[in-house]
Amino acid sequence: MKKINYIKLLVLGLVSLSSCKKDYLDTRPKDSVEHSEVFATTKSAKVAVNGLARMMTQQYLSSQGFNGEGTIKMYYGNYPGNNFFVNLSGWADIINANYNQNLTSIYLYYPWYYYYKLIVNANEIILNIDAADGPDSEKQFIKAQALTFRAYSFMMLAQIYGNRWSDSNNGQTGGLVLRTDVSTGDMPLSTLGQTYDLIYKDLNEAIGLYEKAGLNRESGKNFQVNKDVAYAVFARAALNKEDYASAEKYAVLARANYKLMTNAEYKSGFYDPNGEWIWSSYGAADETLFFYSFQSYIAYNSSASAARTTPKCISRELFNEIPKTDIRRDLFLDPKSDAYTTATGIAGAAMKARAFQTFPDLQSTAVPYAYMNFKFKAKDLPGVGNLNHFRAAEMYLIEAEAKYFQNKPASEIQSTLNALNATSGRDANYNCTKTGVALLKEIKLYRAIELWGEGFDWFDMKRWGDPIVRNAFANGGNFLTSLAVTINPQDKNKWTWSIPLRESDYNKGLE
C-alpha cells in the first residue's frame, strides 16, 4: 500500500453534506486547507467527518468504474453471489471469483485501497479531535463518528480478506494490518481474532462517547453516522464472528428507532431514505458519479447502457420460491407464459410489451429480460439515488439467525420472521411454523429475498459456508453457461481474497 497523504484525502472529502444542494457542494480550495485548520475547531472537524461520508461515493482508480461503496456491493457482494444474474460473460472472472488470488489484480486491490483510505482519515480525526476548540459534547460525538467509520471499514475488510469465522480456528488465522494511527511504517498482519477485538473496542468506545455526548445526527441527514449505526455495525460484525448473543442484542438496539417500510415505500425504488433506513450514502443530481453510480448499474429506468442492455435479474430458482402473495415478487419480471430466449433470458415480444406497460418509465431502448429487477430505480438520470447500507429489515434477520444459533425457542424465531414478513404487510398470508433445520433454511431464504441486490449475497454464502450453485436454463436456472458454476466453500482459497502485492511490497512487516 502506498504511503497515503492524509491531508489530500481529507480535502477530497471536505464537503458539507446537506439536504440543501448548495451546501452540499460547498467546498474549499484544495491547497488552502491546512492540517491545523481542519482540526482547529469542532465546526471544521464536522466537515472532515462529512468528508468520510463523501469518500463512500467517489470514483477511484482511474477508469475502472470503482465508485466507493457501490462497487463493493455490486462487484463483491452481488456479482459473485448465488442469486444475482447479469448477462455479462465477459465478467466471468469477477462473477466466478477468479481474481481473489491474483496479487496484481486491481479487483483484488480495490477494497484494500478504498477501506484503508477511509481508515487513515478516520484515524486523523480520532487522534486530533480532542485538541480542537469547541464543546466537549461535540468532540465526543465527532470521535464516536470516526470510530464508527473505522470499525465499519475494518469489518468489511475482514469479510473480504479474512477467512469465514468457522475456518479461522477461533480467530487464529490471518486478519488485517491494524493501523490505528497515521504511521506508514512496517507492520505485521494481525490475527482475525485481533481484528474483531479492535472492531469491538472501537464500537464500544463509540457507543460510550455517543451516550456521553447526548447528541444525534442532524435531521434528514441519513448519511451521517450515529449510535444506531454503531449498533448496526456491531450486530453485523458479531454475526460474522458467530458471537450470536451480541448479534441479537445489537440488532434489537439498532432497529429500535426504525419502522419497517410500508408496501408503497418498498415499491418506490430504493433511492431515498425512509423510516426503515438506518444509514445510507447521499446521492443527488448535482453530486453524482453519472454512469459509474450504483443506480447506473442496477436501476431499471437508468439511461446507462449497463442497466439498459444488461439489466440485473434475480435467479430463477429464488424467484420461484417467493410466494405469489408476497409483494416482493412484484419487483421482478415474471415471465409467466410469455416466450423468452432461453440462452440469455431476453424477453420476447409479449413479455417486452408487458414490461413497458407495467413500468412505463423504462428507457425506450431498454432490453427487458425474464426475471429482471424493478426493485431499484433512479430518481434522476443516468443513475442518481441514495445508497442504503443498513435497514431495520436486516436487523430482524440478524436477530432471527442469532436466536437460532443460540438454540432459543422456535416460537421466538418464528415471531421475528412473522414480524418482518406478515405484520409488515410484505406478505399478509405469511406464517412461519417451521422448526429445526427447516427454520434455518427459512431464515436464509428470506435474507435472500429481502436483501436481494443490496450487496449481501456472496458475503452471506461465505459466512454460512454454503456452496454457490448456479444453473443454466436447461437445469432450472437462468445463468449463462459460462456463469453456471458451482463454487464450494473450500474452493478459491476458501473465498478469501489475498493481501494485495501493493501492500506486501511496501510493508516489510508482512514478510
- Cα distances (angstroms) measured from residue 149 to each of 93, 197, 250, 366, 422: 30, 16, 17, 38, 34
Whether 256 shows a pLDDT value over 90: the answer reads: yes
Whether 16 shows a pLDDT value over 80: the answer reads: no
Whether 408 shows a pLDDT value over 90: the answer reads: yes
Long-range contacts (CB closer than 8 Å, 24 or more residues apart) made by 474-480:
474/342, 476/316, 476/317, 477/315, 477/316, 477/317, 478/85, 478/313, 478/315, 478/316, 478/345, 478/370, 478/371, 479/85, 479/315, 480/87, 480/89, 480/343, 480/344
287 and 191 belong to one structural domain: no
50 and 163 belong to one structural domain: yes
Beta bridge partners of 391: 277
Q: Judge residue 445's burial from the number of C-beta atoms within 10 Å of its C-beta, 0-12 exposed, 13-18 middle, 19 or more buried.
A: middle
Per the structure, the complete domain to which residue 144 belongs is given by 6-215+496-510
What pLDDT does 4 receive? 34
What pLDDT does 63 receive? 61
287 and 208 belong to one structural domain: no
* Residue 44 within a domain: yes
* Residue 225 within a domain: no
**What mean pLDDT value characterizes the chain?**
92
Alpha-carbon gap, residue 308 to 292, rounded angstroms: 14
What pLDDT does 21 receive? 38
What pLDDT does 32 receive? 40
81 and 204 belong to one structural domain: yes
What pLDDT does 9 receive? 42
Task: Determine what percent of the chain is predicted with pLDDT higher than 90.
Answer: 88
Residue finishing a domain among 385, 400, 434: 385
Residue finishing a domain among 370, 385, 400: 385
DSSP 425-490: STTTT------HHHHHHHHHHHHHHHTTTTT-HHHHHHHHTPPEE--BGGGT--B-GGG--EE-TT
Whether 249 shows a pLDDT value over 70: the answer reads: yes
Residue finishing a domain among 354, 385, 416: 385
Contact by Cβ (8 Å): 356, 224: no
211 and 65 belong to one structural domain: yes
190 and 314 belong to one structural domain: no
> Which candidate, 203, 212, 219, 214, places its Cα nearest to that of 253?
203
Q: Residue range 4-20: average pLDDT?
A: 36
**CATH at residue 91:** 1.25.40.390
Q: Residue range 153-172: average pLDDT?
A: 98
316 and 205 belong to one structural domain: no
* Residue 255 within a domain: no
290 and 370 belong to one structural domain: yes
Q: Judge residue 147's burial from the number of C-beta atoms within 10 Å of its C-beta, 0-12 exposed, 13-18 middle, 19 or more buried.
A: buried
187 and 310 belong to one structural domain: no
Q: How many domains does the chain have?
A: 2
Whether 38 shows a pLDDT value over 70: the answer reads: yes
* Residue 175 within a domain: yes
Residue with cell 481484528: 195
Whether 182 shows a pLDDT value over 90: the answer reads: no
Helices (H) and strands (E) in the chain, counts: 22, 6
Contact by Cβ (8 Å): 276, 258: yes
What pLDDT does 405 receive? 98
Whether 193 shows a pLDDT value over 50: the answer reads: yes
Alpha-carbon gap, residue 176 to 315, rounded angstroms: 34
439-461 pLDDT per residue, tens: 999 999 999 999 999 999 999 99
* Residue 418 within a domain: no
Q: Residue range 55-62: average pLDDT?
A: 90
Alpha-carbon gap, residue 1 to 244, rounded angstroms: 34
What pLDDT does 287 receive? 81
279-312 pLDDT per residue, tens: 999 998 888 888 989 999 999 999 999 999 999 9
- The alpha carbon of residue 75 and the mean position of all alpha carbons in its chain are separated, in whole angstroms, by 11
What pLDDT does 510 receive? 93
83-128 pLDDT per residue, tens: 999 999 999 999 999 999 999 999 999 999 999 999 999 999 999 9
259-286 pLDDT per residue, tens: 999 999 999 999 999 999 999 999 988 8
Residue with cell 488465522: 173
Identity at 493, one-letter amino acid code: N
User: What confidence tier does 380 reach under pLDDT thresholds 50, 70, 90?
Assistant: very high
* Residue 378 within a domain: yes
48 and 164 belong to one structural domain: yes
User: What confidence tier does 34 reach under pLDDT thresholds 50, 70, 90?
Assistant: low
Residue with cell 420460491: 321
Alpha-carbon gap, residue 361 to 357, rounded angstroms: 9
297 and 209 belong to one structural domain: no
What pLDDT does 413 receive? 98
234-246 pLDDT per residue, tens: 999 999 999 999 9
What pLDDT does 285 receive? 87
* Residue 136 within a domain: yes
Q: Residue range 468-475: average pLDDT?
A: 97
Q: Residue range 376-403: average pLDDT?
A: 97
* Residue 437 within a domain: no
293 and 210 belong to one structural domain: no
Alpha-carbon gap, residue 94 to 81, rounded angstroms: 10
What pLDDT does 33 receive? 52
Q: Centre a 10 Å sphere on the Cβ of residue 504 and count the other Cβ atoms it contains.
A: 17
User: What confidence tier does 482 reach under pLDDT thresholds 50, 70, 90?
Assistant: very high
Cell numbers for 458? 456472496
Contact by Cβ (8 Å): 140, 212: yes
User: What confidence tier does 35 reach under pLDDT thresholds 50, 70, 90?
Assistant: confident
